[in-house]
């Protein structure tokens, strides 16, 4: 699972940035995910998360949260690439994106919506095969 999620996230982001550089694009918005900043138990409670907050890789790896690891690594890689290549990159980390289902199974965002519609009191989303929430 790790390689199935990591490589597309990191290489896909780098491929887009390389094309942008070759086409002389100066500014790029990278749409990341709250998963890149959410899993950080050392972040002070109540403090808003900003560009200095990253998900803790070790915790994500231990809990097999590969999506979080992939988004964190992809975002860090994008910022490193931008700095080395003179590209202005801004990242946006939405928490949930809803839209048409492209796959035959329900994804985590749609699962959350189903729970909300059913009026569940406690929402759990399975990330990496383990319930979180």
Q: Is 71 a residue of the active site?
A: yes
Asked whether the beta carbons of 99 and 113 are under 8 A apart, the reply is: no
Secondary structure E strands in 1-133? 27-31, 88-92, 125-127, 130-132
Asked whether the beta carbons of 71 and 57 are under 8 A apart, the reply is: no
In the three-class reduction of DSSP (H, G, I as helix; E, B as strand; rest coil), residue 50 is classed as coil
Asked whether the beta carbons of 57 and 72 are under 8 A apart, the reply is: yes
Q: Which of the following is catalytic: 49, 71, 84, 118? A: 71
Please list the active-site residues. 71
């Amino acid at each position: 699972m790790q390689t199935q999620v990591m490589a597309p996230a990191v290489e896909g982001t780098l491929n887009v940035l390389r094309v942008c550089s070759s086409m002389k694009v100066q500014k790029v918005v990278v749409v990341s995910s709250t998963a890149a900043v959410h899993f950080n138990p050392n972040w002070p409670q109540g403090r808003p998360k900003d560009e200095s907050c990253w998900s803790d890789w070790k915790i994500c790896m231990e809990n097999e949260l590969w999506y979080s690891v992939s988004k964190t690594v992809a975002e860090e890689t994008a910022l490193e690439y931008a700095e080395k290549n003179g590209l202005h990159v801004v990242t946006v980390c939405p928490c949930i994106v809803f839209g048409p289902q492209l796959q035959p199974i329900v994804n985590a965002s749609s699962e959350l919506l189903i729970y909300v519609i059913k009026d569940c009191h406690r929402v759990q989303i399975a990330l990496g095969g383990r319930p979180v929430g």
